[in-house]
């Protein structure tokens, strides 16, 4: 078998040769240009060359990049093992957000990882060299993804967002003999339909909130009047994290019903709604690695969904997260596995749609009982929870994911840093409503070195024509840091944020408030 170094050289040489033939895959040059030079201690290496950042597609420029002769300075693979002869895997990550950036970063640390591609990726993933971004690969076209995997010898595909899963990308990859970490379209309906999830809970006695489903607005309003407020109205399908409304009055509840069933603000995703009892308590996020029959718990995390400090304002995709979450004690984690996760996994298998991938349970720890109830399922890593989980993971992520794909997680023992991790999301002003795009973000490199363990993970970023990183979405950056405790992680994350120069952005100032001492948090200013 060829050595890992030889195999890595073949992948990247093939990539650069493809560029030199005028491929559509872009290679970028900048004041941190990636240039292939050779190997050091068996690791494929890069050199940084100063020039302007522009998409390069002509063979002459790529040829110059490949044939630099200066001393190499940066290792691609960051091997953490002396066994360079072990078989290593080329990984393709599907997605373009901070979650996918975190996955690319974690996968790149794996001793089992030869190379990481990300499709489509974003400006931060590209400039940080955490993966090679393939911006023009249509991730909703299974044939195109399979063709790419075969061409580049991809041995594992990790699907980040839910949409490709619901459309059956994992099904098609598995049929083509390519390991896919992510559920089939049949299993992805756990997230794709809240009605399906609720029916599963009923059948397998999984604790969840009382509910009813409706397609008729009049019937929904009658039920709401009978139940009273506060009450929760949810779009049945996928609505980018915005399909849940907590109505405090009957007027708000009726407006939510009309917006979904009459006005159709969520399209087909809102043509059916779930009206659910309001649970008072504290939310938490619970992730498990699932192989179709069994599951292994990941560490706990807690996110902040609302846009404003003190959990006020509309829901967002998530404004920050931290791990571990003190609300999820070891006893509660064991109970969640026993009463929620494992019955779900066994139930899905019994229904003929085995779940493979990461199962993310949104929980409510009820105030009155202290017990967990299931709010919703997601069939992929939470965003931003993934960012703090990957910051703390110390195990080989590639091998853990491959074990799930093989249907054997029983032997997986995940190791976690004892440190705390926090991510603070920086968003474009106006989010989650209308916001402007194109504002330049400065001092990102300086922010990453302001304190130990800081990592800037990119979500909605792009390059402008001058090579500057600009905001291109609502949630734009995930400023992530670790510390010996949550207080230190908080200090490091917000210290980095102070360095970032972005007048067009904002963030919450109280991430972690549930776990931090109120007096300490108030003194942070």
DSSP 3-state assignment of 423?
strand
What is the average per-residue pLDDT within 382-397? 98
| Segment (H or E) for 284 | strand 281-291
164 pLDDT above the threshold of 60 = yes
**All residues at 6 or more sequence positions from 319 whose CB lies less than 8 Å from its CB, including other chains:** 303, 304, 305, 306, 307, 384, 424, 425, 427, 475, 507, 508, 511
3 pLDDT above the threshold of 80 = no
What per-residue confidence (pLDDT) applies to 15?
Answer: 55
357 pLDDT above the threshold of 60 = yes
63 pLDDT above the threshold of 50 = no
Residue 495's nearest CA partner among 401, 424, 395 is 424
Please tell me the least confidently modeled range out of 120-134, 271-285, 459-473, 506-520. Answer: 506-520
In the predicted model, what is the mean pLDDT of the chain? Answer: 86
Q: Which residues pair with 420 in a beta bridge?
A: 483
What is the average per-residue pLDDT within 156-161? 97
Residue 369, CA distances (Å) to 84, 285, 366, 481 in order: 52, 18, 6, 34
- pLDDT tens string 82-95: 344 457 999 999 99
297 pLDDT above the threshold of 60 = yes
Residue 421, CA distances (Å) to 102, 296, 487 in order: 13, 21, 10
Q: Residue 489: is it exposed, middle or buried by C-beta count within 10 angstroms (0-12/13-18/19+)?
A: buried
Distance separating alpha carbons of residues 257 and 272, to the nearest angstrom:
10
What per-residue confidence (pLDDT) applies to 241?
Answer: 76
Please tell me the least confidently modeled range out of 84-98, 323-337, 472-486. Answer: 84-98
Q: Domains in the chain, please, with CATH?
A: 4-182 (3.40.50.20), 216-271 (3.30.1490.20), 284-417 (3.30.470.20), 419-525 (3.90.600.10)
- Between residues 43 and 440, the one the model is more confident about: 440
| Structure confidence at residue 10 as a pLDDT band (50, 70, 90) | low
Distance separating alpha carbons of residues 251 and 106, to the nearest angstrom:
46
List the structure tokens of 80: 């953490």
Distance separating alpha carbons of residues 245 and 235, to the nearest angstrom:
9
- pLDDT tens string 178-214: 999 999 999 999 999 999 999 999 999 999 999 999 9
Residue 162's nearest CA partner among 185, 145, 137 is 185
pTM of the complete model? 0.83
What is the average per-residue pLDDT within 378-402? 97
- pLDDT tens string 415-437: 999 999 999 999 999 999 999 99
Residue 460 CB neighbour total at 10 angstroms: 24
Distance separating alpha carbons of residues 258 and 278, to the nearest angstrom:
19
| Structure confidence at residue 58 as a pLDDT band (50, 70, 90) | very low
What per-residue confidence (pLDDT) applies to 507?
Answer: 99
Distance separating alpha carbons of residues 212 and 357, to the nearest angstrom:
29
Q: What percent of the chain has pLDDT over 70?
A: 83
What per-residue confidence (pLDDT) applies to 524?
Answer: 82
Detail the DSSP E strand segments found in 405-508.
Answer: 420-428, 455-458, 461-463, 469-471, 475-483, 505-506
Residue 501, CA distances (Å) to 173, 431, 445, 468 in order: 42, 18, 11, 13
- pLDDT tens string 494-524: 999 999 999 999 999 999 999 998 667 777 8
Distance separating alpha carbons of residues 193 and 371, to the nearest angstrom:
25
DSSP 3-state assignment of 146?
helix
């Amino acid at each position: 078998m060829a050595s890992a170094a030889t195999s890595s050289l073949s992948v990247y040489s093939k990539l650069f040769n493809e560029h030199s033939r005028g491929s559509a895959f872009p290679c970028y040059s900048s004041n941190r240009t990636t240039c292939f030079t050779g190997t050091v201690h068996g690791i494929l290496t890069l050199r940084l060359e100063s020039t302007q950042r522009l998409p390069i597609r002509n063979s002459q420029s790529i040829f110059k990049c490949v044939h630099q002769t200066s001393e190499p300075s940066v290792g691609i693979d960051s091997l953490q093992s002396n066994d360079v002869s072990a078989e290593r895997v080329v990984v393709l990550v599907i997605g373009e957000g901070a979650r996918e950036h975190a996955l690319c970063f974690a996968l790149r640390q794996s001793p089992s990882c030869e190379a990481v591609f990300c499709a489509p990726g974003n400006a931060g993933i590209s400039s940080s060299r955490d993966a090679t971004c393939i911006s023009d690969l249509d991730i909703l076209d299974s044939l195109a993804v399979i063709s790419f995997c075969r061409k580049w010898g991809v041995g594992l595909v990790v699907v980040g967002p839910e949409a490709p899963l619901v459309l059956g990308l994992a099904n098609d990859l598995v049929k083509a003999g390519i390991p896919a970490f992510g559920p089939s379209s049949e299993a992805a309906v756990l997230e794709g339909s809240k009605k399906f999830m609720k029916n599963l809970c009923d059948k397998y006695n999984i604790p969840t909130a009382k509910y009813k489903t409706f397609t008729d607005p009049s019937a929904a309003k009658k039920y709401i009047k009978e139940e009273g407020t506060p009450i929760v109205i949810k779009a049945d399908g996928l609505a980018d994290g915005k399909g849940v409304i907590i109505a405090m009055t009957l007027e708000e509840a009726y407006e939510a019903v009309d917006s979904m069933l009459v006005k159709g603000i969520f399209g087909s995703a809102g043509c059916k709604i779930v009206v659910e009892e309001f649970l008072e308590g504290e939310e938490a996020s619970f992730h498990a690695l699932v192989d179709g029959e069994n599951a292994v718990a990941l560490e706990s995390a807690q996110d902040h969904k609302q846009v404003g400090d003190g959990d006020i304002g509309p829901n967002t995709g998530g404004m920050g997260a931290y791990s571990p979450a003190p609300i999820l004690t070891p006893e509660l984690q064991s109970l969640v596995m026993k009463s929620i996760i494992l019955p779900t996994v066994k139930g899905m298998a019994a229904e003929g749609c085995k779940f493979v991938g990461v199962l993310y349970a949104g929980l409510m720890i009820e105030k009155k009982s202290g017990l967990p109830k299931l709010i919703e399922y997601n069939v992929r890593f939470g965003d931003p929870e993934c960012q703090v989980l990957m910051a703390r993971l110390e195990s080989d992520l590639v091998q853990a994911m491959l074990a799930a794909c093989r249907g054997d997680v029983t032997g997986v023992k995940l190791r976690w840093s004892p440190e705390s991790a926090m991510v603070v999301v920086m968003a474009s002003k106006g989010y989650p409503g209308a916001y402007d795009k194109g504002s330049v973000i400065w001092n990102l490199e300086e922010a990453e070195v302001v304190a130990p363990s800081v990592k800037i993970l990119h979500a909605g970023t792009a390059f402008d024509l001058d090579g500057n990183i600009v905001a291109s979405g609502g949630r734009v950056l995930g400023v992530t840091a670790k510390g010996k405790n949550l207080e230190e992680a908080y200090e490091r994350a917000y210290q980095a944020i102070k360095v970032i120069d972005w007048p067009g952005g904002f963030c919450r100032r109280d991430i972690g408030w549930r776990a931090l001492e109120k007096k300490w948090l108030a003194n942070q200013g």
